[in-house]
Chain A
Amino acid sequence: AQTVTQSQPEMSVQEAETVTLSCTYDTSENNYYLFWYKQPPSRQMILVIRQEAYKQQNATENRFSVNFQKAAKSFSLKISDSQLGDTAMYFCAFLNYGQNFVFGPGTRLSVLP
């Protein structure tokens, strides 16, 4: 069974600085998707970024980028120029082609003014 681990329950970062959230996963699959979801205090789950395992190039979305290391089964999220609105829970998630979606426990990020 696939598992997703986020080893940082809580993190904080000063506004305008850069922060990296870690995620590791365990799978025997070769083709899969990885996601980062953001859950702000409003509790709405919002997709931040997606990575296909067959792509070597790291995905980027504006201030958000990932460092995908397939061999190490690592999928970290980097947030550049952190903003107060980035304060949220961040969930790393794994999806295989059978649509068995697995979430990590989440990292609570606080952006400090």
Chain B
Amino acid sequence: DAGVIQSPRHEVTEMGQEVTLRCKPISGHNSLFWYRQTMMRGLELLIYFNNNVPIDDSGMPEDRFSAKMPNASFSTLKIQPSEPRDSAVYFCASSSGLARSYEQYFGPGTRLTVT
């Protein structure tokens, strides 16, 4: 299996622009998670989906952030408009949710820089 795939790996954009981050979970996994990692706040859970349905989006910082999962193999995290304080590494992770497989498998992350 290719693991969790994220694109792009790096994104540099100007303040006010729309940014879309993409994630392909491991095939067969039914839970998908978006995290943000910064030096100041560490690793934060933004939102997670189970069977393509958003279960908990309480970590989404504000209305500028939105996430979708139109099918089991694809999810997006969109920021519009972007701001410099959104600069961070964004991770996508997936898990199968089965008793032996609660561990989450992380993608390589997308490093976002907003200037």
Write out, one digit per residue, whether chain A residues 11-48 have a CB within 8 A of any chain B CB (1) or not (0): 00000000000000000000001010100001111110
Main secondary structure of the interface of B (DSSP, over half): strand
Q: If A99-B48, A100-B56, A103-B42 touch, does A44 touch B106 (CB 8 Å cutoff)? A: yes
B68-91: which have CB < 8 Å to A? Answer: 89, 91
Tell me the bound Cα distance from A44 to B60 in angstroms. Answer: 22
Residue of A nearest to B108 (CB): A44
Q: If A43-B108, A43-B109, A101-B45 touch, does A95 touch B102 (CB 8 Å cutoff)? A: yes
B52-73: which have CB < 8 Å to A? Answer: 55-56
Q: If A43-B89, A45-B91, A45-B93 touch, does A101 touch B104 (CB 8 Å cutoff)? A: yes
- Please, could you name 15 A-B residue pairs with CB atoms under 8 Å apart, sorted by A? A33-B102, A33-B103, A35-B103, A42-B108, A43-B108, A43-B109, A44-B106, A44-B108, A95-B102, A99-B48, A101-B45, A101-B104, A102-B45, A103-B43, A106-B42
